[in-house]
Amino acid sequence: MPEDTSREKPRARRSADVRRAAADTLPARRERPGVPGDPYADDDTREYLRSRTRGKRIRRGLIPQSKYGRIAAGVGLAAFLASVAGAAYFVSRFVHRDPQFTIASSSAIELQGNQHLSRSQLLSVFGEDVDRNIFDVPLAERKEELEQIPWVEHATVMRLLPNHLRISVVERTPIAFVRQGGTIGMADASGVLLDIPPDAPGNPNYSFPVVTGLKPDDTPESRSQRMHLYAAFLKDLDSGGKKISAELSEVDLSDPEDVKALLPSNNSETMVHFGTEQFLARYNRFQEHITEWRQQYPRLSSVDMRYERQVVLQMPPRDSTVPTPDGKTPADTAPAAKSGAIPTVVARAAAPVREKPSQVATVSLPKPPHAEPRAAAVHETRPAVAHVEPHARPVAQAKHPDTKRADVAKRVEAIKAWMAQRQAARDAARAHAAQ
């Protein structure tokens, strides 16, 4: 039997009319420009939610809002802090009075890194810490006292519970012997003056020149600058692959603008001025012409290599008794200039004998290939002749020449004695190793 749908159609029509009427009666939804609206975020919804939370207390932090709540929180916090302080007090009293935390003897102090410093030298800093509680030892103060020892570059002090200390030191590395008057010491790369350790004479690691010009009363910055120049000097000399620095017997750093080195040549020693740069090139030029210079000037004592196209040769005063390489004391007159590849200009002694000036000769070096031909034309058209110059600037006018010669001789003798002692120690060490 077919269903009768005539009644359902008017009912559906009425439901649609009711929904349409309800939609017309609802207030229009407000939207902000550019922001998609929420279908439930109308004014009625907000008002409804606001009415639901009205009269209810919202908690906004850990601090209580009421008066009694705050009092209770304060009392609880004070009790907690008091308990922590009490526990810390009892722990501190326990560790400071318990005998197991006391340093019983010096054997409880461990040392690391000391090669030249003896145990007694380092333990002298911790003399008052024996029979003392380990927590009462001021570690920072002890570290500073250790670093006051010249040989100590860096130190570390640690506690090892319950009753031990560990000291680690980094010792300085010497790079030169230093002569101060009649005593010989050492110096590191920073210019710190060191005492010679007992194993220095036979130690092959200590084969370096003797340095002069460093004084204890100089500032640390001044000594450091001079030692950096000394290190650069040795590095440049050895950059060619040969151990040239081993030939140096003395290096003078008294002038920070001029490195002077005492070099052996023909059974004698010559003071060579190197300046502050081109050390290896100037050394090679010196070795190339020193034999010829020695033949012309047997009493040669100093060579200044700081100039580009010439070299200044200096001889001792006229009445000097400095021997020549053959052991004799030659006449003061220098030989005339010889014609050849190296023209020579000689300054003959023109001053009276009573002034005793030092003789100075200026030697022109060969012109480099890339030099301008202007100077070459002068030498080609005019042969080298002897030229008389005023005597050289007096060196150390305030000091008598006899006193100066005595100081130089004393210095040379001290250096030779030290080198002989070092060589004897090396020979003894080799003989002992061979046995």
Instruction: Give residues with Cβ within 8 angstroms of 230, minimum separation 6.
Output: 175, 176, 211, 251, 253, 259
**Do 352 and 305 touch, CB atoms closer than 8 A?**
no
Which tops the pLDDT comparison, 403 or 136? 136
**Do 113 and 169 touch, CB atoms closer than 8 A?**
yes
Report the range of poorest mean pLDDT among 127-141, 165-179, 229-243, 339-353.
Answer: 339-353
Instruction: Give residues with Cβ within 8 angstroms of 125, minimum separation 6.
Output: 142, 145, 146, 149
* Domains observed in the chain: 102-171 (3.10.20.310), 175-254+396-435 (no CATH), 257-395 (no CATH)
DSSP tag of 102: B
**Do 380 and 335 touch, CB atoms closer than 8 A?**
no
Token reading at 397: 């006018």
Find the farthest-apart pair of alpha carbons in the chain and give their distance in angstroms, rounded: 162
pLDDT of 332 > 70? The answer is no
Residue where the block lists tokens 């220095």: 200
**Do 125 and 140 touch, CB atoms closer than 8 A?**
no
The 10s digit of each residue's pLDDT in 34-90 is 445 555 556 666 666 666 666 656 556 667 778 887 888 888 888 889 888 888 877
Nearest-CA neighbor of 319 among 332, 304, 333?
Answer: 332
C-alpha Rg value of the chain to the nearest Å: 46
pLDDT of 207 > 60? The answer is yes
**Do 63 and 70 touch, CB atoms closer than 8 A?**
yes
Cross-strand bridge partners of residue 158: 166
pLDDT of 304 > 90? The answer is yes
Cross-strand bridge partners of residue 251: 211, 261
pLDDT number for residue 267 = 78
pLDDT of 301 > 50? The answer is yes
Omega before residue 401 within 30° of 0, cis: no
Average pLDDT over the chain reads 74
pLDDT of 393 > 60? The answer is no
How many Cα atoms are found within 13 Å in the side-chain-facing hemisphere of 11? Answer: 4
pLDDT number for residue 77 = 87
Question: Which SS3 state, helix, strand or coil, does residue 176 take?
Answer: strand
What is the C-alpha to C-alpha distance for residues 310 and 406, in angstroms, rounded to an integer?
Answer: 30
- Residue 147 pLDDT class (50, 70, 90 cuts): very high
pLDDT number for residue 403 = 61
Helix (H) or strand (E) holding 183: strand 183-188
What is the C-alpha to C-alpha distance for residues 115 and 169, in angstroms, rounded to an integer?
Answer: 10
CA 198 to chain centre: 26
Report the range of poorest mean pLDDT among 64-73, 188-197, 251-260, 357-366.
Answer: 357-366
**Do 315 and 358 touch, CB atoms closer than 8 A?**
yes
Count other C-beta atoms under 10 Å from residue 216's C-beta: 9
Share of the chain above pLDDT 70, in %: 61
